[in-house]
Structure 1
Amino acid sequence: MSAQTLINIKNVNRIYTDTKGNKVYALKNVSLEIRQGEFISFIGPSGCGKTTLLRLIAGLDQPQSGALYVQGERIEKTSHERGYIFQQPTLFPWKTVEENVAIGLKARGVYQEKKNEIAQYIKLIGLNGFEKSYPHEISGGMAQRVAIIRALINEPKILLLDEPLAALDAFKRMELQQMLTEVWSKTKTTMALVTHDVDEAISLSQRIAIMTARPGEISKVIDVNLGQERNRNDDDFITLRKEILKELHLVTVKPEPEYRI
């Protein structure tokens, strides 16, 4: 790909201290460039630092060493230019769908000039007719759609997705995967997804970064050259799935201890 670099992650280390005072590396010497307008997924064993990396990009956390940059500017705090979607929709239960979507616009002081866009975004995700509904009156999948456009309406340069579809049933999950593909195609927003689902990563991404078990490092970055329409039963899709599963097995299995006699 020839698109310019948007996010530059350089030699990032994130270390926590456990209850016994031991240092635990969540991320170790992680370096990666994410290109403008691409959809990239992070996949790896539980606890490998995927969410930690996403939080660092968002500015919700800071590394002990190394640095992260967006268009050459160091990330030191959160910004509306980096939208974050959590695993749960986190909607305000006392606000309607359109009121939830408007929250970011009001916080930024741009509601009056952009309020007409709310209807356009609600239409984009297929929730026409639910503008006045409250979160308890819509399904989990619909609520997650609202959370996604609540971030998108702020026109972020980057949308960070922390397993936003994990709690949904298989049918709703595939439906929202298709919606994300369509939204990405229309907006060309740079998207970074954390997932445990190999098929989801292949279906949505242009590249997939595979991370090792703790200490979290990027083991391999795989290009997904399958075109825009992706069929999970195609030979190329299945071949790529096997390659990723093999790599995941390698990064998950711990090496056998060495014995000296």
Structure 2
Amino acid sequence: MLLIANGEKSDRIAEVLSSNPLVSRVERSESAEYSFGLIRRLQSRGVPVDAIFIDPFADSYDPHQSSLFIVSTRGQYPRVVFVLIIDPAQFAIRSHEFLPELRQRVKHYYRLDWTVSDGRLKGEVERALHGCLQWHGVPALEQDRRGYEFDVAISFAGEDRGFAQVLERELAAHGVRAFYDENERPHLWGRDLYSDLLDIYAHRSRYCIMLVSRAYREKAWTVHERRAAQSRALEMREEEYVLPVRLEDCDIPGLPSTIAYLPGELGPAKVAEYFLRKLGSAGSG
């Protein structure tokens, strides 16, 4: 594993990585500019680099150096997975500094918020490492899942939790990585939910299943989730992202009247079955 960062950021993360049993070796560098040569030297000595934890703005004098390094490494070593070391607020402010060809792609990269407390940093690192392991373990037919933390985010009102809960269980039983709020409560505890949910529904999920009901249309948090999902759908244009399931006959602002719904009468198990088919067809394309 290669860690590219400097100062306190590098020291804190290196200590946690080195103590993790999943990590056999940590090489450190302070600059992306010189790290490509380091990877070649390690590979020539039979030391594989499977993951790179990188501060995307470590080269503060030239922020494009990190972009150039990521592009070069992905081209030469496509099996290397990247984790961006950056807090969500800084990423939102500075994402325009990436090279144009990376600006959309990096939204789907794993991220590590290094600004959390020492007690939570271990959990952040373990979460990132788990993502790396999942990325490396994805079969060839599911390569489209790479770079997304979740295969699907389930967006629903509290009144419809019963349907959402059964749906998540059906999906999990078939190995689908679904964002379901109750499962993520330990991680979300104490975090800025407004920013985190925006990130999940706009960037970190391959699809969004939207459970449409009158309660869903009216609740403040579901409006926030819906708007995040719709902004992602607008970016993707010709590709499906929002997958609505109509639990009640009502219109949702911003969803085209021509979009295809599944009827809630199918039940959670059948909806899960339909989603598995969609996920499989997307991965084989």
- TM-score of the two chains, using structure 2 as the length reference: 0.27
Q: Which has the higher helix share?
A: 2
Q: Which has the higher strand share?
A: 1
The structure showing larger relative contact order (alpha-carbon pairs under 8 Å, at least 6 residues apart) is: 1
